[in-house]
Structure 1
Amino acid sequence: MLRQSNWRMQELARTLKWPAHELVQAMDTLLAEGLASVSPEDPAAFRAVEPCIALPELLAQSMYEGRSPQPSPAAIDRFIALHERAVERIEESVGGGYRDDASTVIERMVAKAEDDVVLLVPGHVPGGFAFSRPLVDMSLRRGTRLRAVWSSAVFRASPAGVHAQWLAQQGVPPRMVDSVPLCAMIMDGAAAVVVDDAYKSRVVRSAAELDSLCALADRLWERGTAVRHLTRTPGGAACRRPRKEIVLRLLAEGLTDDAIARRLGCSVRTVRNDVAAAMVALDARSRFQAGARAMQVGLI
């Protein structure tokens, strides 16, 4: 599925030579685990979520549920590296045919964001990047500030309302304005992706255009209003992230068990249990390797 943007079930069945019931079962699993989604370009088709977003999410689910991750963290890291090198070779070749849909471009860029991601959303697109839970989870795991500004029209779509409620529960509810003039994602103020009506992407790196986009995003954010019916969980966003995830991040920063316990307000024994579980899940031989591997595979 990584080889092209859109796959209809009939195409996949012909390519894989699988019976229909087996393909439906496999697709249901991929959708449930965040490895695939509905295509924003064709509601009857599906696309693979980029490995740099999907596979760390799969690893996170395994670790937080206390089960051994399959594939292993090392295999995930190798696959992401091999996939990205293959993409680079294809994109550099003349007439390279690798998929370049907007969601793919944005997923690759968000996986590299360090400080701030802004989403400008003029309308609801089923399967679009603005409604991707794995993309949001990746940003929050990495400690990235996430801001979304939605046009009021977006909230009229029932699936968008469900996603808005989920965002509020993560501590990052979207703000609403009357109208958003364009569809875009801005990363760290250093790059942006603008998406047209056909869901084709254009990467923006020029300083002048970036300044204009950032200024627009800031104006819309300041003008945006909170949506009253969205229920927010009390406390900051970090309080709703799994404790093991926060322990991993602090571990990667070099904090001791005692310091982590004080920061989180829990016992040293709890922290040590979390560290031990993380070492097993990440196939790490030391605390340092666990923190380093978590960063390497995009888990934090």
Structure 2
Amino acid sequence: MALSVTGLEACAELLYRKLLQRTHWRTQELARAVKCSAGEVAQTLQALRDEGLVDVSADDPTSFRAVEPCVAFPALLARAMFEGRTLGLSPVEADRFIALHERAAERDEGVARGSGGHRTDASSVVERMVAKVEKDVTFLVPGYVDGGFAFSRPIVDLGLRRGIRLRAVWASSVFDADDAMDHAQWLAQQDVPPRMADAVPVCAMIMDGAAAVVIDHSRTPRMVRPGAELESLCSLAERLWERGAEVRRLRRTPGTGAAQRPRMQMVLRLLADGLTDDAIARRLGCSVRTVRNDVAAAMAALDARSRFQAGARAMRAGLI
């Protein structure tokens, strides 16, 4: 299998990079653009969806969009670590991968204001912004939209890996959609279940109380900076969260993969701080052998030559 900078087959990476060039693509359009059959493109799209690199477009449910690299690639690396496998990247390819992630995370936010960017999809804008969050994110969700940012597992995975507090308030009508209910159940299993309000007047994501993305009825994203509007939005979010009801139908299933995430996250952070295996084990209350297994998995997935390099690369790649 020919590997590339993403660790995907060459055809899959070509398709993914093409998807990044526009807000959304239909299968036939992609087939013409990459000179492959529609059947081959459909099969590759499904594989990319399974890897969390592609999703349905919220603007057009018959089209597909690329999940932003700053969200998708750290998730790809994290899965490799949890599964004890490597993406097969050489040191040069690993550095190129990390650089691609960093460029994506630093992409000009002008697109969020609709100022000439060629990818103004709301979910893409939110993914780039979430990659910069330091403390907490609050989602306000007035309705269900297939492919919408509020129902994105990669966004939640990124936040959980980085130790961000995630909150979501959904209008009661959202829970009527089967796909939304499935996502709510998954969120509950990650210990971040959404709360329910009779009505949510605005679709928005608020980051660290310092900025927000508001989505209007035309699905156009708009950035909200510090000022009266942001203060009002933050106050609204707090009221809705405090008054929001827990949904009794959501079951929290013990023993899910989410339980592994905090330990691996802390191991990576402590590696970056230069702690020894013994010190990490004492800090986390687990065995040295467990820590060494986590360190080995991190070094393999990141193709790092040393423990410290593994921690540094994990930080650069957006894993912590």
**TM-score, normalised to structure 2's length?**
0.86
Do 1:284 and 1:290's aligned partners in 2 also have CA atoms closer than 8 Å? yes
Question: Does residue 290 of structure 1 match 2:276?
Answer: no
Structure-2 change in CA distance of 1:115 and 1:90 (3 Å):
closer
Deviates more, 1:225-234 or 1:71-80: 71-80
Question: Using the alignment, how far apart are the partners of 1:131 and 1:89 within structure 2?
Answer: 22
Q: Which amino acid counterpart does residue 17 of structure 1 have in structure 2? A: K
Matched residue type, 1:262: R
Asked whether the equivalents of residues 211 and 224 of structure 2 are also in contact (C-alpha less than 8 Å), the reply is yes
The one-letter code sitting in structure 1 at the alignment partner of 2:51 is E
- Distance of 2:220 and 2:288 partners within structure 1: 50
Alignment of 1:68 with 2:86, yes or no, is yes
Q: What is the rounded CA distance, in whole Å, between the counterparts of 2:240 and 2:104 in structure 1?
A: 36
How much does 1:78 deviate? 2.0
**Deviation of 1:30 (Å):** 0.8
Distance 1:225 1:90, change over 3 A: closer
**SS in structure 2 of the partner of residue 80 of structure 1:** helix
* C-alpha distance in structure 2 between counterparts of 1:232 and 1:253, whole Å: 33
1:9-46 Cα offsets, whole Å, 9 max, x none, are: 11111111101221111100111111010000111011
Q: CA deviation at 1:265?
A: 2.6
1:227-272 Cα offsets, whole Å, 9 max, x none, are 001112459x974526433321332344432232123332112212
- For the residue of structure 2 that corresponds to 1:127, the secondary structure is coil
Q: Does structure 2 retain, via aligned residues, the 8 Å contact 1:64–1:242?
A: no
Alpha-carbon contact 2:122-2:220 (below 8 Å) kept: yes
- Per the alignment, residue 7 of structure 2 pairs with none
Q: Which runs of 5+ in 1 are unaligned?
A: none
Instruction: Show structure 2 runs of 5+ residues with no match.
Output: 1-18
Whole-angstrom distance in 2 between the partners of 1:79 and 1:240: 27
TM-superposed CA distance for 1:199, in Å, is 1.0
The answer as to whether partners of 1:73 and 1:297 remain within 8 angstroms in 2 is no
Q: 1:176 and 1:90, CA in 2 relative to 1: closer, same or farther beyond 3 A?
A: closer
How well do the aligned residues superpose, as a CA RMSD in angstroms? 2.3
In structure 2, the CA distance between the partners of 1:182 and 1:90, relative to structure 1 (3 Å rule), is closer
Pairwise mapping of residues 74-223 of structure 1 onto structure 2 (< 5 A)? 74-83=95-104, 87-88=107-108, 96-223=116-243
Deviation at 1:74, TM superposition (A): 2.0
Q: Is the 8 A contact 1:119 1:130 kept in 2?
A: yes
Give aligned-pair identity as a percent. 64
Q: Partners of 1:82 and 1:246 in 2: how far apart?
A: 25
**Runs of 4+ deviating beyond 6 Å:** none
Aligned length, in residue pairs: 296
Rounded Cα–Cα distance in structure 2 between residues aligned with 1:230 and 1:249: 32
Question: In the TM superposition, what whole-angstrom CA distance separates every residue of 1:66-87 from its partner, at most 9, and x where no partner exists?
Answer: 11115553232122245567x5
Quote the Cα distance in structure 1 between the aligned partners of 2:32 and 2:247: 46
Q: Which residue of 1 aligns with 2:42?
A: 24
TM-score, normalized by length of structure 1?
0.92
Indicate conservation of the 8 Å contact 1:103/1:128, yes or no: yes
1:170-222 per-residue CA deviation (whole Å, 9 max, x = no partner) reads 01000001000000000001110000111110000032211111111000000
Contact kept, 8 Å, 1:150 with 1:180, in 2: the verdict is yes
Matching residue's letter, 2:39: H
Other structure's SS at 1:37 match: strand
CA distance in 2: counterparts of 1:142 and 1:84, whole angstroms: 15
